[in-house]
Amino acid sequence: MSLNPTSTVIDAASVDAAIRSRMSARAFLPDPVPRATIEALLSLASRSPSGTNTQPWKVYVLQGESRDGLVQKVCAAHDALRADPTLASEYREEYDYYPEKWVSPYIDRRRENGWSLYGLLGITKGDKDKMHAQHQRNFRLFDAPVGLMFTVDRVMGRGSLVDYGMFLQTLMIAARGHGLHTCPQAAWNGFAKIILPHIGAGAEEMLVCGMALGYADPSDPVNGFHTPRESVENFTRWLE
């Protein structure tokens, strides 16, 4: 494919709409996503930038039996972990996605996000059964027919995770262009010891995250949950 650096985006409104309509969908329809569509999305995502063009992403697409088998394994481990919290040492993330110590304003945004979602779902503070069930929805891919697992070679540096973020975002925006929704999921990371053998990843690979892909269920109230964003003024400093 030949790239023209002087080309312009004629329909900027559609690009804006794809970005603005991206959300973490938490309820999907069972409608299958054609392989050709998934391949097209991954091809678009491959145009993402990466340091010295290293392209560190490795993608595993799970559908049908492979998807259902992983869901069953991880849900069972999630239930076992709840029954016996001492198993936590067996299920650890390989990199720190979140900080060890939370501070404002990040902890405030995290709490607002969590309790706003739980409030919409009628889950009250201390309702551990409902919290566990909702958390496990992650490991059921929110019923999406497609699960994606992303890995990176352990030899790569932290900069490759920056590259990966751009790849994931490009993939999610491309999905909107095809009428699809996604949910990027770091929740899977703690169960890498189950996931990596299941998908056939090599010993040199580290799990980066998972993602649900499919057609969002418009009738489910959970998909009406849209997280707020800080204003440009709050996170930008202009230097002249």
| Domains in the chain with CATH codes | 15-85+139-225 (3.40.109.10)
Give Cα separations from 31 to 135, 146, 216 (angstroms).
Answer: 23, 10, 10
Give the N- to C-terminal CA distance of the chain in Å, as an integer: 39
Q: Kindly state the tokens that stand for 93.
A: 């993330």
Per-residue pLDDT of the chain (240 residues; tens, 9 = 90+): 567 777 788 899 999 999 999 999 999 999 999 999 999 999 999 999 999 999 999 999 999 999 999 999 999 999 999 999 999 999 999 999 999 999 999 999 999 999 999 999 999 988 999 999 999 999 999 999 999 999 999 999 999 999 999 999 999 999 999 999 999 999 999 999 999 999 999 999 999 999 999 999 999 999 999 999 999 999 999 999
Rounded to 5 degrees, what angle do the CA atoms 199, 42, 30 make? 70
Q: Are 138 and 187 in contact (CB under 8 A)?
A: yes
Q: Edge-to-edge strand order for the sheet containing 58-62?
A: 58-62, 146-153, 205-214, 181-185
Give the pLDDT confidence score for residue 2 in this predicted structure: 61
Q: Kindly state the tokens that stand for 16.
A: 């804006």
Give the pLDDT confidence score for residue 84 in this predicted structure: 95
